Structures are given as C-alpha cells and as structure tokens.
Amino acid sequence: GKVVLVVNVASRCGYTPQYAELETVWKEFKDKGLVVIGFPCNDFGGQEPGTSTEIRDFCSKTYGVTFPMMSKVQTKAGEGQSEIYAFLSAGTGKLPSWNFGKYVVGKDGKPVAFFGSGVKPTGEELRKAIEQALAVKPVS
C-alpha cells in the first residue's frame, strides 16, 4: 500500500549530491505514504566500491540520509542482475544507464515511471509522478 521511489546510488559519482535531495523528498512525503529506498550499485564506473556499512556511514554522515539503504546490487541485465531490477525493467522497459536512476512504484507494487540520472529528485517532473502515485486510491 505504499508508493516506493527506488534509486540506484553511488558514493563517488557526479550525481552523489542527489542524496541530499532524496532525503528532502523522503522527509516531505514519508508521512503521506512514500518510501525512498537506495540500492548501492557499482555497475557504472566502479563508483560504489564500499561495503554496505561504509556506504551507510558515508550517506548518513555526509548527506544526513535516514531513508532505507539496501545491500549492493547489480542493476545491469544478465547474470547476477538483482531480482528487483529485473522486475523494474520488465515493468517499465527501462534500466538505469548510470547511477541515480529513479523508479516510482505504485501502491499496487507495479512500476509506473522511470527517471534518469539527470532528473533531480526534487524536480517538478519526478514530484508530479510521486504525487500522482500517492493520489491513486487502493483497490479494495
């Protein structure tokens, strides 16, 4: 029954400052039914070499991240691809081409939109998709 924003993240990327914006989105919408989940990924440029503990510590200390962070995953298709990214790509027809790709998943558990790295978490396009997903009434 929650809307989920799934993001493949990395600590050594030009987009890494988006962690702060993701935290802003999390704080603004979490009481309205949004969950932001970060999935560390080392698929692009080897920009997430750390362990899960190192990644969580970095995010917390550097960007004040309080939203859930998962263990490192592989987003790229093929052997070793995480099940969540296989599911998300099947539902949208898209996979991240770099770090900080963002999927909006509706209350029914189905992905409804994908936004690339260049789309800011606090940008109007992504905010509209989140607000629309939150406005959908669950089927009883």
Angle between helices 124-135 and 18-29 (to 10 degrees): 30
> Which tokens in the block code for residue 121?
């978490």
Burial of 41 (0-12, 13-18, 19+ CB in 10 A): buried
Dist CA 137 CA 107 (whole Å) = 8
Contacts of 121 (CB under 8 A, 6+ apart): 5, 7, 18, 21, 22, 24, 25, 102
Active-site annotation holder among 6, 9, 13, 41? 13
Active site residue 13: yes
Burial of 1 (0-12, 13-18, 19+ CB in 10 A): exposed
Give me the active site residues, please.
Answer: 13
